[in-house]
């Protein structure tokens, strides 16, 4: 599925329209309901095991906030440490620059294919599509990402990108598409999880063994030591990080933490909030290069792509605390019914509704609609392991969208200005109330106009009384 350089899926409608189509898909809703309820129930049990969860949550919030306040210092310290360990650091202001850097690094090796361990940053910048246009094949190695790639699909969840697919659909994708990407699926492949996993393992093994270039993201970067950290559950990350001769890591600048000891907090909260595990099965850490083990060349591409703009917003910057656990998606009633594709971004759900408009701006209809993709119930804030107040940021971004006067808001602003003038003139207000009461039998049940009609589609307009409160008060006060 192609994207623009800003990460918007080409052809995606605004959230309300996309969500309306999604909620009509009974299979999608059943898949999402089963998966999200299972994950969030397991998460609740894992979190309940820790008596100091609230303290860990607060500690994670404070570490992230302190880091963001001095982000420039920590990034420079990180660059020094990575360079001293034998790595090379590249700075990318936007998606286009990051894609150029990575493409140039791959071409310098003479290779025409790469293996990847799941990286939302590379999805954000549309790296796979860019590499393909340059004649370089990029193979996803995470099982869910593999399903998405083989099915020419889009990710719909931060942790489980193929959450919208059931086992039967995955089997059909493997049977039909694996052969054109490499080793075909075994004959008679069933939809049992063990057989599907084995088919993926055999398909990917040949790619791991011949790949000379690996591309990764990172969950954390430690400024103190220049160490990068990837946590995952399948072992594909370990293969991508150790077997290739060249490793290129594309990481958002907000993923840095100051010191090694800071990992103690996040390596407790992240696995419990994401996979409901006490610790991740695979936690890989690497610092530069070594003559004895791993890649002989390491490149770190530090990606901005709107992050410093978000950092400048005192309310919105808290979205940069996100450690991509996906807990907010699994408790969100809107996401559960609409699915991830409706958000038109690689960052779906509540966190996507506040992060995407800050990274991309609110110029497009898709991005302007995202802050409204929420009921503001607050469940996302309650489960966030770094205490991001997502409802607060949603309201803040709604104010921004309205102030910019986007589609549907120019009329709203005009109506508010007119209402303010009427409320400042009591005589005009009283006359309007009398006219409204006298003509109440002629009032419509729904508001006219597409925007207003959408608002009143599921809301009853209040009936006006026979007389205004002013007139009633004047009579009864006597």
Segment 156-176, tens digit of pLDDT: 899 889 888 999 999 999 999
Segment 239-259, tens digit of pLDDT: 999 999 999 999 999 999 999
Q: 189-213 in b/e burial notation, b at 16+ Cβ within 10 A? A: beeeeebbeebbeebbeebbeebbb
Please determine, for residue 282, whether its predicted confidence score (pLDDT) is greater than 80.
Answer: yes
Give 385 or 32, the one with higher predicted confidence: 385
Inter-residue contact 191 to 171 (CB < 8 Å)? yes
pLDDT at 4: 43
Inter-residue contact 305 to 94 (CB < 8 Å)? yes
Of the pLDDT bands very low, low, confident and very high (cuts 50, 70, 90), residue 475 is confident
Burial label, 167 (beta-carbon count in 10 A; 0-12, 13-18, 19+): middle
Of the pLDDT bands very low, low, confident and very high (cuts 50, 70, 90), residue 120 is very high
Of the pLDDT bands very low, low, confident and very high (cuts 50, 70, 90), residue 9 is very low
Closest by Cα among 378, 315, 323 to 350: 378
Residue the block writes with tokens 């770094």: 386
* Alpha carbon distances (Å) from 280 to 198, 232, 233, 268, 460: 21, 6, 6, 9, 50
Give 415 or 66, the one with higher predicted confidence: 66
pTM for the model: 0.86
Look up residue 155 and give its DSSP letter: -
Average pLDDT over residues 185-213: 94
Of the pLDDT bands very low, low, confident and very high (cuts 50, 70, 90), residue 287 is very high
Candidate from 6-10, 191-195, 306-310, 323-327 with smallest mean pLDDT: 6-10
Tell me the average pLDDT of the chain.
Answer: 91
pLDDT at 12: 57
Of the pLDDT bands very low, low, confident and very high (cuts 50, 70, 90), residue 11 is very low
Closest by Cα among 399, 406, 421, 391 to 451: 406
pLDDT at 19: 87
Candidate from 38-47, 119-128, 344-353, 443-452 with smallest mean pLDDT: 443-452
pLDDT at 454: 64
Candidate from 247-256, 337-346, 370-379, 398-407 with smallest mean pLDDT: 398-407
């Amino acid at each position: 599925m192609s994207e623009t350089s800003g990460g918007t899926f080409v052809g995606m409608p605004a959230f309300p329209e996309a969500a309306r189509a999604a909620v009509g898909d009974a299979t999608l809703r059943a898949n999402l309901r089963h998966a999200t309820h299972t994950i969030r129930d397991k998460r609740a049990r894992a979190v309940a095991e820790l008596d100091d969860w609230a303290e860990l949550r607060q500690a994670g919030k404070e570490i992230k906030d302190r880091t963001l306040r001095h982000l420039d210092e920590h990034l420079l310290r990180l660059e020094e440490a990575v360079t001293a360990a034998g790595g090379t650091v590249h700075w990318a202001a936007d998606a286009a620059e990051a894609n150029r850097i990575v493409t140039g690094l791959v071409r310098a090796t003479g290779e025409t294919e790469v293996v990847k361990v799941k990286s939302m940053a590379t999805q954000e910048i549309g790296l796979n599509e860019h590499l393909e246009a340059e004649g370089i094949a990029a193979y996803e190695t995470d099982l869910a990402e593999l399903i998405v790639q083989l099915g020419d699909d889009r990710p719909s969840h931060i942790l489980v990108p193929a959450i919208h697919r059931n086992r039967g659909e995955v089997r059909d994708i493997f049977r039909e598409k694996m052969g054109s990407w490499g080793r075909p699926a075994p004959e008679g492949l069933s939809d049992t999880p063990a057989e599907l996993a084995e088919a993926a393992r055999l398909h990917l093994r040949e790619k791991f063994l011949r790949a000379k270039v690996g591309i990764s993201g990172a969950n954390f970067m430690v400024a103190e030591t220049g160490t990068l950290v990837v946590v995952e559950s399948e072992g594909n990350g370990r293969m991508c990080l150790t077997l290739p001769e060249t490793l290129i890591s594309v990481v958002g600048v907000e993923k840095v933490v100051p010191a090694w000891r800071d990992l103690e907090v996040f390596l407790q909260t992240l696995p419990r909030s994401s996979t409901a595990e006490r610790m991740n099965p695979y936690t890989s850490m690497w610092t530069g290069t070594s003559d004895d083990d791993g890649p002989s060349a390491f490149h770190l591409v530090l990606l901005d792509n709107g992050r410093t703009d978000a950092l400048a917003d005192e309310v919105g910057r808290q979205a940069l605390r996100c450690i991509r656990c996906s807990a907010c998606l699994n408790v969100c009633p809107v996401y559960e019914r609409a699915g991830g594709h409706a958000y038109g971004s690689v960052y779906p759900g509540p966190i996507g509704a506040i992060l995407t408009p800050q990274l991309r701006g609110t110029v497009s209809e898709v991005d302007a609609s995202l802050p409204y993709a929420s009921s503001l119930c607050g469940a996302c804030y309650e489960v966030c392991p770094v205490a991001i107040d997502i409802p607060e940021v949603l309201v803040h971004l709604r104010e921004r969208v309205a102030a910019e006067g986007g589609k549907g808001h120019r009329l709203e602003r005009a109506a508010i200005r007119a209402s303010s003038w009427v409320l400042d003139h009591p005589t005009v207000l009283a006359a309007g109330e009398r006219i409204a009461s006298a003509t109440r039998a002629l009032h419509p049940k729904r508001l006219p106009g597409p925007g207003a009609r959408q608002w009143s589609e599921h809301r009853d307009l209040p009936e006006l009384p026979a007389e205004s409160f002013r007139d009633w008060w004047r009579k009864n006060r006597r």
